[in-house]
Structure 1
């Protein structure tokens, strides 16, 4: 069987007992980055064979995965952080397992998506997860425009290098958009701020807080629940 296992997005305590049990049970673990996964396993005293399987080489690992499964082995796949296949590799392995008649089992865990919507003050019902936008060009703004009209809200992931740019781009689509930004979620310096795009851009810029990993929820609602 192929297990798709959710792992922490920062705080090593954010992993389920079931996920730990599965990681101990399986014969081998396919990991987006074996170094990161090895730190997690070491924290919980787990010693297991690890096979690198990032987005660049995932397609090359399909044959090896099927070989393990055909021999009756249990395999787990983990990404660097959070839920696999959600802006992370894993989808090709899942597809190959299903197409070849093998069982696939999700082991749910935390993700940046469910973390940010749990503190969303805008009462959005239809929330679209987009993940990372293209790195450059007008395609970014066009995609933001498309997302803005798809549901009540959408969620983006962004790096420290482009967070200020992203907030400015959101302002170009709607200067009055309501935005929730999560910075370094579940980590030591985690922070959540609600505001308009340019207000948030100024806050992170002036306070030198544009470093880290960001999750951004953009809502079409006209008012937040609080000021």
Structure 2
């Protein structure tokens, strides 16, 4: 009978956030796969866990996923951790989950601290609906297109930024959304935690020239103002969503609410455009 893969969230900075369930789970596991065994072994020593840890990162995940699947196939309980936060969320883990699915293993989670929800909570921005973008692409067309979409996004946006890239990320974002409100959460839950508030343009100046960026950054950007009543704009947005894989009816529903147009009129216009496009091919 296949075993169990347990995705274990670890503290994002403060070891006081280790839960009893995390300690019990790591202690009971047959093996722990970790993004960085050095950091994980330090954590294990602090919480009194002696379960062996095996590395699992981008450079070896193909071989390790095969090994992990073999262990699960023979009924073992496998814990999976990353350096901080929840596995598979802007961190290694997706290939491990897919390997577990392939062998029919049970997959469960020990939830815990999250820089995403922590930063979102302290931001004071609308958190009923939000978008998590992770780290921005480093360069090229993908980066430009991602920034353009973020600049138009009406929901609150959460991003990660590394200290050596935050100045460039903020500068590029300021070119498109300089007046938007932004919260920069740095070193959350750690001794030098900082929550900075201002506009994107102010943040670009502050973190680009006034201080040396250090630590881990989570950015929370207030949503753009909703564009109201423009059927042409709404129609373009519908086909943008369809291009990303959304169904027509779902795209129409979401965009009609966002832009403030009649769902019926938008649906009819979308059908007409789609028919015209198909007729022209």
Same fold by TM-score, threshold 0.5 exceeded? yes
- 2:17 pairs with 1:14: yes
Larger relative contact order (Cα-Cα within 8 Å, sequence gap ≥ 6): 1
What is the CA-CA distance between 1:202 and the residue it aligns to? 2.6
Distance in 1, matches of 2:60 and 2:183, equals 34
Q: How does 1:127-142 map to 2 (within 5 A)?
A: 127-142=130-145
**Which position in structure 2 is the counterpart of 1:66?**
69
**Which position in structure 1 is the counterpart of 2:56?**
53
Structure 1, unpaired ranges of 5+: 223-227
**Which position in structure 2 is the counterpart of 1:184?**
187
| Higher share in helix | 2
Distance in 2, matches of 1:181 and 1:190, equals 11
Distance in 1, matches of 2:98 and 2:153, equals 27
What is the aligned length? 222
- 2:217 pairs with 1:214: yes
- 2:61 pairs with 1:86: no
CA contact (8 A) 1:122 1:221 kept: no
Distance in 1, matches of 2:201 and 2:69, equals 50
Distance in 2, matches of 1:138 and 1:178, equals 25
* Residues 168-177 or 39-48, more deviating: 168-177
Which of 176, 200, 204 matches 1:173? Answer: 176
Structure 2, unpaired ranges of 5+: 226-281
RMSD: 1.6
TM-score, normalization by structure 1: 0.92
- 2:196 pairs with 1:193: yes
What is the CA-CA distance between 1:201 and the residue it aligns to? 2.5
**Which position in structure 1 is the counterpart of 2:42?**
39
